[in-house]
Structures are given as structure tokens and as C-alpha cells.
Amino acid sequence: MAAPEPDPTAREIAQRTRSRLPSSQTGSERRISDALVDALAPELHSLHRRIGGVEQRLSEHIDGVEQRLNGRIDGLDAKIDRLGEHVIDRLGDMDAKLDRLLNRTDNGQSPSS
């Protein structure tokens, strides 16, 4: 997982926001924009921190789910391996019985005896 970005301050958010405003604003438009940026920067800072917290909790939750799924997959793999061994054993038993039946038939004996 990538390292989280450092949490920007309200001032840094305001500076970034100002840098994105069109340079063609008139003096009064610029003052209004600056006032809005100054008013909204603390709220944007708060939202940024909350989003970062949610991202962290979500990442931890995903990691936990992934670990549980991997554990279940490993358990299923082990069950499949045991089942495969059981099937192979049973096939071996059936093959041995078939060989005995064929030997009896080849020796002229009834298969049921």
C-alpha cells in the first residue's frame, strides 16, 4: 500500500485553491473568491482529514477480509487435498476388488463365490 499523503493544512488548501482560480478575475471578483476560499478552507481541511480516516479504516477492513478469505481458501485447499487422497484410496480399493474378481473369473470360478 502506498504511503498516505501528508495532511495539508487549511492554509495549504487555501493556497492550492487560489492557484486554481482564473487569473482573469477582476479586483472585486478576486476579493470575493479570496473570502470564499478563506471561509471554506477550514471545512475542506476537516473533510480531507475525515476522508483520510475513512480511507485508513477501509484499507484495514479490506486487509482483514483478505486475510480471512485467504484462510478459508487454505482450508478449502486442504479439504480438497484430503478428498483427493480419499478418492485415490477408494479407487485403489475398487481396482484391487476388480482384479480379484477378474482373477476368479479367469480361474473358472464364479465371481460371486
pLDDT reported for residue 23: 81
**More confident of the two residues 82 and 22:** 82
Report the pLDDT value the prediction gives residue 31, as an integer from 0 to 100.
Answer: 87
- Give residue 28's Cα distance to chain centre: 50
Residues 41/13, Cβ–Cβ less than 8 Å: yes
Does this model's pTM top 0.75? My answer is no
- Cα distance between residue 71 and residue 60, in whole Å: 17
Taking only the tens place, the pLDDT of each residue in 63-85 is 999 999 999 999 999 999 999 99
The answer on pLDDT for 7 being more than 80 is: no
Mean pLDDT, range 33-50, rounded to an integer:
87
User: Exposed, middle or buried: residue 51 (CB in 10 Å: 0-12, 13-18, 19+)?
Assistant: exposed
Radius of gyration of the chain (CA): 36
